[in-house]
Chains A and B, each alone.
Chain A
């Protein structure tokens, strides 16, 4: 239901905006993530692809200390697949990682990136307003600095970043990764996928939360009706 409505909205919005002129830069930006919205759920296929991007690109600078390899099973990977992924990763002491290891920290020379520290990404989608959408815009928001803006040395201009100057070099290049499902790995696609992955990482209980929540709310709506009816019935006897 929802994605359909989302697309309708999007279409109307685009038409309204002068035939799409204002948003006409050609990127496949998903304006709506499946994880967004009142009844959103994790798009597991996108998050699996996003994990590949994270592992191949982001993990060379960032940590995600709250995640264990076993957690990836929640994205629909089998234990064997996850064990295979872990075995290909070296932990701090050089041994291959196991299911119960957390994602390792990359070694970054002190003072790299002009002193800026790449933040831990496990909760980044919860730490920034508009979560996944912000990350998506950040990863695709690099642009030449406009006239009048002097960039600090080794900083990059980014339209999504508050203040505009970011120490993270543009991380994504087209076809950095090869998707198993055959999707073409454009920068926009990778950005969207890794954003959905990070949205899941910050809120791994999203699906359960919305599932339980819908049932609880429906149940309580009926219980409210019954409670009010019984209260009125009981009080009627007093008058």
Chain B
């Protein structure tokens, strides 16, 4: 606290640390931010955790024999099953937080001026997260991952012009013996890029959030350290329940079969956090249908600040909030149907839920927000 009175041992030798500590303890933050405001920080903490557990996995992982090396990790490496569980469950938690963050942004309409850039960076980080999550799913070497890589490489090669060149560069050509080694590097490199985007987002968020009057401010420490600690412990509790009692939560049993041309995957077989996108990409047919569905789904999210016609400074109306909750259920349903959970009805439900997604953004959002603004 009294760093300015007498610099501590460390601060006199490493001044930047002293400044950092002073920054944490001077009142500079709004009071009583809601618990859910910690989501960006939780995502960052989750990504650090994933980086650490991923580092251990990467030491033993062998892209040339992916499935066997995962068996080795789970069965032979000391506590390897635990580290693998950390990585899988950590992913589930980070995605849960990311989906919640987007839902919260929509409900609060925080994507409107001056928050557009924060929202755009959120979506970019989310898209990267999905890509990294998919790459991790591909690296499992299970039957579902194997077919997903096969389909993705084929689709990427077929893209016209510069996009096709980009796809070829990304995958290095058709699916083959070297593909997973390449995807491993991209999985790690892109995960690190997410940190950079989150750092940018942090800056943009600070600029977009007005500070309260000095008398109403509190210091990060001890007030928010105490609050963040609660959020962290509760997340760890949820994570432990999943890790130790539902280790395969949200994963297809199909992916426990080693991948190969003979192990045919039926249905999407993707983990839960990719399922809504699998639904969107199943919506359109034709050569480019899959990629078109994916891209359209994400572009609509990016365009939300401009699809909302309510103008600045208005609170969200009841109808809009209701529609946003319906969209949340719709996305859940889309993922659920895309996993084939509804049996013979799945195909139909994917179309219905997928169509609602587009209807929500392209038609309902502009109309409802414009009406509520009047």
Contact = CB atoms under 8 A, between A and B. Distances in A.
A100 to B, nearest CB: 11
B304 interface: no
Contact of B233 (A202, A205, A224, A235): A224
B233 A210 contact: no
B75 A220 contact: no
Contacts of A210: 244-245
Given A127-B254, A205-B81, A216-B244, A235 B237 contact: no
Contact of B237 (A123, A205, A217, A230): A217
A213 B244 contact: yes
B342 to A, nearest CB: 15
Interface in A1-22: none
Contacts of A117: 262
Given A231-B229, A235-B223, A235-B226, 13 more contacts: A66-B71, A123-B256, A123-B257, A127-B254, A209-B244, A210-B244, A216-B244, A220-B236, A220-B240, A231-B226, A231-B227, A231-B230, A238-B31
Interface string A100-129: 000000000000000001001011001111
Contacts of B254: 127
Given A238-B218, A238-B223, A71 B243 contact: no
Contacts of A202: 256
Interface string B118-157: 0000000000000000000000000000000000000000
Interface string A152-195: 00000000000000000000000000000000000000000000
Contact of B248 (A126, A213, A227): A126
Contacts, number: 75
B350 to A, nearest CB: 21
Given A210-B244, A217-B237, A228 B223 contact: no
Interface in A192-219: 202, 204-205, 208-210, 212-214, 216-217
Interface of A: 38, 66, 71, 117, 120, 122-123, 126-129, 202, 204-205, 208-210, 212-214, 216-217, 220-221, 223-224, 227-228, 230-231, 234-235, 238
Chain B: number of interface residues, binned into ranges: 20 to 34
A216 B240 contact: yes
B295 interface: no
Contacts of A221: 237
Contact of A209 (B32, B81, B223): B81
Q: Is the interface of A mostly helix, strand, loop or mixed?
A: helix
A231 B258 CA distance: 47
A213 B240 contact: yes
A221 B234 CA distance: 8
A79 B31 CA distance: 63
Given A213-B243, A217-B241, A238-B31, A227 B230 contact: yes
B7 interface: no
Given A126-B256, A227-B229, A227-B233, A217 B240 contact: yes
A210 B243 CA distance: 10
Given A127-B257, A129-B253, A66 B237 contact: no
13 contacts: A66-B71, A71-B75, A202-B256, A204-B75, A209-B81, A209-B85, A212-B82, A221-B237, A223-B233, A224-B234, A234-B223, A235-B227, A238-B223
Contacts of B343: none
